[in-house]
Every structure is written in C-alpha cells, then in structure tokens.
C-alpha cells in the first residue's frame, strides 16, 4: 500500500505539471482528492491492515494528500498569473500612438469683451452694478429725465408688459437705482453691464435683444475733462495705443452737455475708407455730463455734485475689434463661428 500511495503521488504531480488551464487542474483535483478519488480508494482498504500498519499508512496517506493539495494550489497560482499576463499583453496600450484631442469650449466672445471692459474699469476703481431686466417705467424713463409723453421716448421702441412694467431698453435704470441707494451722498462710481431689449427688426446691425455697458461717476468737481480722459483710456485699451478719439456734440435726455465719441479708423488710420465711410472716424459710444434733473430726482445737490455717464454696446465693440460683419452671429450659437475666438 505504501508503494501504491507513492505511485499515486508521482502520477498526480505529473498530471498537475501537465495541466495548462484552471479547468484541467480542477479535473486533477477531483481525480486524486475527490470523494471517489484515488486517495480515497486507498483509504477504504485500510480495514484489511493490521493495527500496527494502520497509523503508518494513515500518516503517509495524509502526507501524500497534503503534497498533492500544495502542488495543485501552487499550480493554480501560476496559471492565474499566466492568465493575467496574457490579458495584459492583449490589452496593452500603445503609448507611441498620438492621443485623441479633447475638444474644450471657451467663453463666448461677447462675454470676453464684457469681462475685458469690466476688468479695465475695476482697475480704475469702479464697481460692477446690476439690476432687473424687467423694469418699471419710472426707473427706465422718468428717473432719467424722460417724463411720460416726452418725445425722446420715441427713440426707444419698447416691450411693455403692463402700463408700468417693461423690458428695460438700456442699463441706465441701474444708474438711477444706485443713485437713489446713495441717498444724495457721493461718490458713486459704477459700470452697469447687462442685456437690454428694444422692438427692433433683426438684421446685420440690429437685434431685439443685445448687451450694454454703461458707466457713471458722480462726485464733487467732476468735469468734461474727466470724462474725456476716461474715454481716452478706454479707447486705447480696446483698440490700441495709437487710436485717437474725438467728441462730437449730441443729445441725450439724461446728460447735458451730451457727446458722441469717435475713434480714428484703425483700417485707414484716419485717411478715409469704406469702413469709416471715408470720414476717418468710427462712432463708438455716447456720453455726457449727468443732467442736473437726474441728480436732483435721486436726492443729490446738483450745485455740489456733478458727474459723467457713458454707454456702449459690447456687440459693436467686438464687431469693430474682430471684423465681425453681422450681429446675429453672436446669438445663433454656430460653434464654427464661436470657436474662432477661443484663443482671443
């Protein structure tokens, strides 16, 4: 029986070494260690042995079983490692191949233009103020020296919700609200970016919805020279240090005197071309000294306080700066158009 056990051990080790899959190894386990396996068959014959031989053969059978079990576990670990290595070889990533680019978005060109202007004025000590887009008739018109029935209201076709509520036609109501909040005490130094609405027919240069940035500075001893100096800094920041500005007399109900600001044409450098309509100048924005009536209605003493205000359209700034010919491009969300400005 000893010889039989030794023979079983050698046979088992040989088949374990030959097993090349987990399934074939499991078959070897069943063949030798299962309930009907060869080790069990040997143990069934121990009843024929003498009392002296039984413990010896029993000990030997346990040793053979343990050796076979250890060999099977060792081979199982080896087969598992080999399987993992084969899987890694099949799933190897060739790092020498070029990577797939990740397509990322970027801020809208209008937002870039607005933030650029905001950063400039914040650096000059201004605060960014915001207000509601659904505005009262009082703040949109009356507080800005435009009483009911004033003919200047015809300059701004409006979307009325009720007789006293409308979609704001400019961001000037933010100026009026801010002046009221200061209760007649200066200084007030703000810019007001935001969306505005007018009943325009959409075309290459008009839109029923667009953006504005307005500025207001009220304090003692503010003069037209302060306004011109501020606008000069703005023009050179947006369009280059070689730009010149000029101020032309104009009319706005909420400023007196009022001006239009032009910059020298960057295409022809003032010589005259189709872009500037052969004038050498391009209109950029409107401005002026705050009308005394506006200050008085907000509780400011117009004999003590003066100020200036200005307003511009970021769409027009961006169109001139980047050569965009149609305002509708800003709002149609054509990615082919928008991605041109990701690196601006």
Query: Residue 101: how many CB atoms within 10 A of its CB?
Result: 6
> d(Cα 49, Cα 203) in Å, to the nearest integer?
110
Which spans in 129-272 are helix H? 137-140, 172-181, 224-239
> d(Cα 9, Cα 235) in Å, to the nearest integer?
96
List, as residue ranges, the binding site: 256
> d(Cα 262, Cα 6) in Å, to the nearest integer?
107
The C-alpha angle 75, 80, 81, rounded to 5 degrees, equals 100
* DSSP result, 16-74: HHH--SHHHHHHHHHHHHSTTSHHHHHHHGGGGS-TTHHHHHHHHHHHHHHHHHHHHHH
Nearest to 341 by CA among 316, 313, 321, 314: 321
CA neighbours within 13 Å on the CB side: how many for 163? 1
Identify whether the C-beta of residue 25 lies closer than 8 Å to the C-beta of residue 19.
yes
> d(Cα 113, Cα 158) in Å, to the nearest integer?
26
Residue whose pair of structure tokens reads 């920041």 in the numeric block:
237
List, as residue ranges, the binding site for Mg(2+): 256
> d(Cα 9, Cα 163) in Å, to the nearest integer?
103
């Amino acid at each position: 029986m000893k010889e039989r056990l030794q023979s079983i051990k050698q046979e088992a080790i040989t088949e374990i070494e030959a097993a090349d899959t987990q399934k074939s190894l499991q078959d070897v386990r069943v063949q030798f260690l299962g309930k009907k396996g060869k080790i069990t068959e040997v143990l069934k014959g121990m009843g024929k042995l003498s009392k002296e031989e039984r413990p010896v053969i029993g000990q030997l059978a346990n040793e053979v079983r343990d050796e076979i079990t250890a060999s099977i576990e060792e081979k199982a670990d080896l087969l598992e490692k080999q399987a993992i290595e084969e899987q890694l070889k099949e799933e190897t990533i060739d790092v020498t191949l070029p990577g797939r680019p990740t397509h990322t978005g970027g801020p809208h060109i209008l937002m870039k233009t607005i933030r650029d202007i905001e950063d400039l004025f914040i650096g000059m000590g201004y605060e960014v103020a915001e207000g509601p887009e659904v505005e009262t008739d009082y703040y949109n018109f009356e507080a800005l020296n435009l009483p009911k029935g004033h003919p200047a209201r015809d300059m701004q076709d409006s979307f009325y919700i009720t007789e006293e509520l409308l979609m704001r036609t400019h961001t000037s109501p933010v100026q009026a609200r801010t002046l009221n909040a200061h209760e007649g005490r200066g200084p007030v130094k703000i810019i007001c970016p935001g969306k505005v609405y007018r009943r325009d027919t959409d075309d290459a240069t008009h839109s029923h919805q667009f953006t504005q940035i307005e500025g207001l500075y009220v304090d003692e001893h503010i003069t037209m020279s302060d306004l011109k100096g501020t606008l000069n800094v703005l023009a050179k920041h947006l369009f280059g240090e070689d730009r010149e500005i000029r101020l032309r007399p104009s009319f706005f109900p909420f400023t007196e005197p009022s001006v239009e600001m032009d910059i020298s044409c960057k295409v022809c450098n003032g010589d005259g071309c189709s872009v500037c309509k052969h004038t050498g100048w391009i209109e950029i924005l409107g401005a002026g000294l705050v009308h005394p009536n506006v200050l008085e209605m907000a509780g400011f003493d117009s004999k003590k306080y003066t100020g200036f205000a200005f307003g511009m359209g970021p769409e027009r700034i961006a169109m001139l700066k980047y050569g965009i010919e149609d305002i509708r491009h800003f709002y149609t969300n054509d990615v082919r158009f928008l991605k041109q400005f990701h690196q601006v």
